[in-house]
Every structure is written in structure tokens, then in C-alpha cells.
Amino acid sequence: RRRRDEGDSDDGDEPPPRRARVSESGASAAGAGAGAGGSPSAAPSASRGVHIVRRAELDGVSVVLKGYPLHDAASRAALEREIRVVNAIDHPAVIKVSGFAIESGVAPTAWVELPYAARGDLQAACSGGDAALPAWEVQSLMRQALCGLSALARAGIVHKDIKPGNLLRTGDGRLLITDFDIAKGADEATVTGGARGTPGYMAPEVQMGGSSSHASDMYDIGVVLHELRFKQPPAPPPPDAMGEAGELAHSIPADAEEPLASLLKQLFARDPAARPSAEAALMHPYFTQSLTAGLVDRGELVERDRKVKAVRDALASVRERHHWAHGEETSIVLPRHGIVAAATNAFAGLLVAHDGKRLRRRLRVTFAGEMGVDAGGLTTEMYHLFFSSLAQGDDGAPALFEAPDGGTWLPARDADVEACRAVGAAMAKAAYDGRCVTAPLCPSLFSFLCGVAPTMRDVQLFDPALARGYAQTLAMAPDDVAALGLDFEGLREGGADVVVTAANRDAFVSLSIARDLQGSRLAQLTALRDGLRAAFAALSAEVAPLLELLAPADWQLLLCGDAYVGADALLAPSVWRNFERDEAGARTREWLEAAVRDMTADQLRRLCQFATGAPRLPPADRPLKLAAWRDG
């Protein structure tokens, strides 16, 4: 029968049966094929023996049905234990058993329903005939695996058999950790079954008869990382290896680039205590320095959306548990007039609540003096009204944000620091609640979150007049620059004695932009950043390491990109020139329009982000027009 969702009543009624269609069927023996949940030739857990694997559709959704012979009560108990271990972890990188049934008869069979991983396991990518994966994809897969291992570690579960065959890829590129037959919990002194792991993927201490641990799982992930990157198992160190090399279980390839080589050294440490935890490994420079930079210039597929999706998945997991499992709510009453001051006080109160419990609850919004029950719509309206009012003062009070000449917004230089901290908390809470920040924030704000200096484009979006002045300075003749009599005072130490010349004007403009967009409002930006990160940390401990992986554009997409962007809305005002002169031009236009319609929601938002600086459609009075010209 289908697994009950958390919170379902257990009144004895069976869930309704689902419509099923079996499309493929086969048998598999232990050690063959892909891991559980993969293709129809998927292998069982290490100790299960021969079993039946069927690909099926249940209510139109592709799944894998695996049939395990139940030889005795012990085999049934072992299978049920594995299901309990799997379903105890609520994480998108850990496979879920979504159904379980017993088929009685002469040869009883237990049927387990698992997600269908259309791209199979990582075995071929590690050592098979497939071409080596690009470095950025290896990084993405290993990041997901470590996020899943971090969730296992927090639950006190040691997997004990991390290997390519137990790491699956779904059709949309997500990674799933599977095969928990020999996993053990932190309170288990012995391992169920006699298997201890897979040769070639066993840590040195396990090979010597020691116990498995989270550290041995990290050694296993190092072997997988090596095989994904170099298409071969790691080699043992030379017999006469001394010093650091003698402390490693494997030698590091000479062509391993930094920081990959540094990470492999940590994972291959002979001493389990010297290996990093999953969370610590995610903070290693190998993961914090995104390998997707420059993919557009090289014409490769951009996979940056996976980072944003990982954060959203982590927040959604917490939200679902607390919104629907506990049913607790936080009620706030706000006035429409003067909402900025009232809302900042409310979010500041949520931020200081102990252990983030109130922050994780569902919001129930009421506008003062109005009737109505908030079923979600009033919360959406509150966020929109609050964020869109940040550049307006309440009852004569100074505005928290400024927008010169109608440009994008930044915290005002004299804005209250604690109020800015509350705004940061409100942004995190909005992302958690599945809403977006509707204020047209300047991209330099998101650059500040990542410690990145602002650019000329940021100035153009924030203050066009200021940007024109800087552009004129860059375009001046050398003698005209010297005639301005400018210096670096306030921009660098001893700057009053450094005159701006044609040779250093680029540095002068860059430092001036950093001062105008970030340095002059440093206290306000710092408070907003601290409130944002503190709120995310209170909402979900899993999110903190993921946030370190985000680039400025990722932050903007995460916080501001949940607004709907439709392909037709982008294509309707588009301009096409010289495409209708012949059949080839008409076909090219059709292909380009089809490519836009095939984009995912986040790809459409990134297209808007590229064109306008914001991951959403501009206001109706300033429509975005895509223009395409055909040469000749």
C-alpha cells in the first residue's frame, strides 16, 4: 500500500489504489547493474540476492518496483529495517521508499516502490566507456552527495557503502543516495548482515577490521570524487612515501588542479579524525569556488540553477514539516499605512525568538481594521506592500532605502541599522514562505552578500547620472583627466597625495563605485546581510553551507525570482528584423521562439536578469523588448 504522508490519520482505511502500468521487467543478481531505483536492471542491496525489477507508471509517474523474495521472517525484518532507515531521512538527495506491499503465495514477495532515476547510477561515469564528466558537473554531483551525507550524519546514520553504484541521477540531474541495507544508526553496536562495504571503497580502518563511521563515509566519497574526475580508481602511495604523502591512503594525481588536490588529501587521510565532516567539506574552496563561471562564454550548459534549487529544497523540507505537520502559526496584525515600521518590528521580533521556532511557523496576516481570513493571499499582499514601500518614509520618517532618479534600490546611508537587520530577516522569511522580494534591488546589494565589488553596470542601474559622470571620466583625453585635479582621498590610505591620471583612472572609478554603492552604506548593508544570514540559519541549519556557494546572481534569483515569468510575455513585444525575407530566416525565428518557450522558469528569470538586472518582468509601463537582427 502507499506510504502514508506525515500527519495522515490512521483510521484503518486503506489509501485508494493507483492506476499502474508496467512497461519493463527483468531480473537481477547481486552485484550487477545500477543501484536501487535506477534502470530496470538495477541491482539489489548487497545481501538480497536475485530479485525482480520492474519499471512502471503509477498515476502517470515513472517509478521502479522491486520485488524481493521473502525466504523467512529474518529477511522480511531486514527489508523493513532498511525502509525505516531510508524514510527516517527527509532530504532531496536521499532516496525515499514511497510504497511497500507483500504479495503472498507459495513464494512470498515484498514489493518496494522507488523513484525512477532515468540517468542510472554513476558507475559508467566513473569507470565505464562514457566520456568523463565536465569538472563543473562533477562538482555539482559531489555537492549534492555531501549534502545528503550531512543529513545522514545529523540523523546519526552511517551509510557504510558509498560507491558509484549507490549514487543515482534522476532525469533532471538530481543525485540520490540509495542502498541502505548495511547502514547503521549511531546507537547500533553491530551491523545488520555480514557485509561491511565494497572492496575498493572501504576506508583503511574498515579494511583492518575497525568500525565504520561518518569518517569512513567521507573516505568513500573521496574515492568516488577521484573516479568521477579521473576515470580511474586512486592509486596507492609509493612504498617509500614519507611525510604528508605517507599519511595518505592514496597518492594524488600530478595533474589534479587546486583546490581539488587539497580536498582529496583531506578525504584520503589515513587517520579518520583528520578527515573533514560533510558540512566542513562543503566549505572547502573546491565547492565555494563555483566551476560554472565562464560556461556561457565557452558555450557550455549553465547548471547554476541547481545551487538555488538546493537551497529552495532545503527550505521547502523545513516548511512542509512545520507548516503541515505541526500546524502552528504566527499571527501578525499590520496597518496598511505605516507598514514599514510595523513590519520591521514584527520581523525583528521573529528573528530574536529562541531556536527559530516562531520564524519557521506559517504566517497568518491580518490588516488592521479589515475583515478576512488569510489563506495565503494576505501574506503575499503583505510582503508585496512591505517590500515595495521600503523607499517611502512612514509618516515623515526617513525611508530605509533610496532610489536616485527612479533607479534600483539600496539601503539609505542614514537608515536605521536595526531596521535594516529586520529587513534582511524579512527577505529570508519571504524566501522560506515561497514569496519573493518585489523591491527593485540593486545588483550591488547581492554582490555585497558575496564579498564582490560592484560594477559600472550596477551604477547604471542605481544612479544613471552618476554612471554617466564616471563614463565621461574614463573617456577623457589624458590631459583632460589631469586637469580635473582629482585625487584618491577617502578611497585608499594616503589617497590625498595620489593624483588621478590617465594611468590610474580605471582604479579611481572602480574604488569610487565601491564607495558610492557599498562603502558609504557599509553599516546598513552589513546589518541587512547579518539579519538575512541569521534568519536563514535559524530556519534551517542545512541552508548555511549552501548559501556560501551562491554567486550574486544566484542570491538575486533566490530572493527575487519567484515572480511568474512567462515565455509568451517575453516574446509578445519582441522585435525581429530581416527574418521574414526567406524560408531560412522564418525557420530560424521559429527555432529561436521555440527555444525560449522550452526554457525552464528559472532560465526565463535569468534571461530577464541578463537583460534588465532583475529576474522578473519589468513594469507594464516599461516592457522588456527582445530584439533580434539577422545580418545581410
Last residue of a domain, one of 233, 254, 288: 288
Phi/psi at 41 (nearest 5 deg)? -95, 20
**Does 71 share its domain with 163?**
yes
Q: Which pairs count as long-range contacts for 590-596, CB under 8 Å and 24+ apart, including other chains?
A: 592/628, 596/567, 596/570, 596/571
pLDDT at position 428 is 93
Q: Is residue 1 part of a domain?
A: no
d(CA 448, CA 462): 15
For residue 513, the model assigns a pLDDT of 93
Q: Clarify whether residues 81 and 153 are in a common domain.
A: yes
Cell output for 352: 530574536
Query: Phi and psi at residue 113, in whole multiples of 5°?
Result: -100, 130
CATH code (residue 337): 3.90.1750.10
Strand partners, 103: 109
One domain, residues 262 and 388: no
* Domain annotation covers residue 123: yes
Q: At what angle do helices 135-154 and 305-320 cross, to 10 degrees?
A: 20
What are the average pLDDT values for consecutive 10-residue runs of the chain, which has 632 residues?
40 50 47 40 43 71 80 82 77 82 80 82 81 81 89 88 90 79 48 60 90 94 94 82 69 89 94 92 81 46 61 74 61 89 90 74 85 71 90 81 87 94 94 86 92 88 90 89 89 90 90 93 96 90 80 86 66 80 85 81 74 65 69 66
The residue among 356, 312, 327 whose CA lies nearest residue 92 is 312
Residue 488 in any domain: the answer is: yes
90, 140, 464, 475 from 481: Cα distances, Å: 61, 47, 21, 9
Give CA–CA dist 279/273, Å, rounded.
15
Q: What is the pLDDT of residue 133?
A: 83
What total of structural domains would you count in the chain? Answer: 4
In a domain, 589, yes or no: yes
Residues 324 and 392 in one domain: yes
CB 45 within 8 A of CB 34: no
Q: Which of 560, 589, 620 is where one domain is finished?
A: 560
Whether 227 and 129 map to the same domain: the answer is yes
Last residue in a domain, options 501, 517, 533? 517
Residue at 302 is within a domain: no
Here the cell at position 295 is 560556461
621 and 548 part of one domain: no
Task: Please report, for residues 8, 97, 275, 279, 375, the alpha-carbon distance to residue 11 in angstroms, rounded to integers and kept in the order given.
Answer: 9, 22, 48, 41, 28
Indicate whether 246 and 386 sit together in one domain.
no
pTM comes to 0.50
> Residue 46: inside a domain, yes or no?
yes
In this structure, the answer to whether residues 434 and 548 fall within a common structural domain is yes
Q: Which of 328, 535, 513, 582 is nearest to 429 (CA)?
A: 535
Do residue 348 and residue 494 come from a single domain?
A: no
Is residue 493 located within the same domain as residue 584?
no
Q: Is the dihedral of CA 439, 304, 552, 454 positive or negative?
A: negative
Q: How far apart are CA 30 and CA 49, in angstroms?
A: 5
Are 587 and 460 found together in one domain?
no
What DSSP designation does 62 have? E
Has residue 11 been placed in a domain?
Answer: no
Q: Are residues 217 and 314 in the same domain?
A: no
Q: What CATH number should be reported for the domain holding residue 173?
A: 1.10.510.10
Report the C-alpha gap between 461 and 445 in whole angstroms: 12
Q: Interhelix angle for 377-388 vs 417-432, to 10°? A: 150
| pLDDT value of residue 514 | 93
Q: What is the pLDDT of residue 617?
A: 67
Q: Is residue 172 part of a domain?
A: yes
Instruction: Find the domain containing 193 and state its range.
Output: 20-288
Cis peptide before 236 (omega within 30 of 0): no
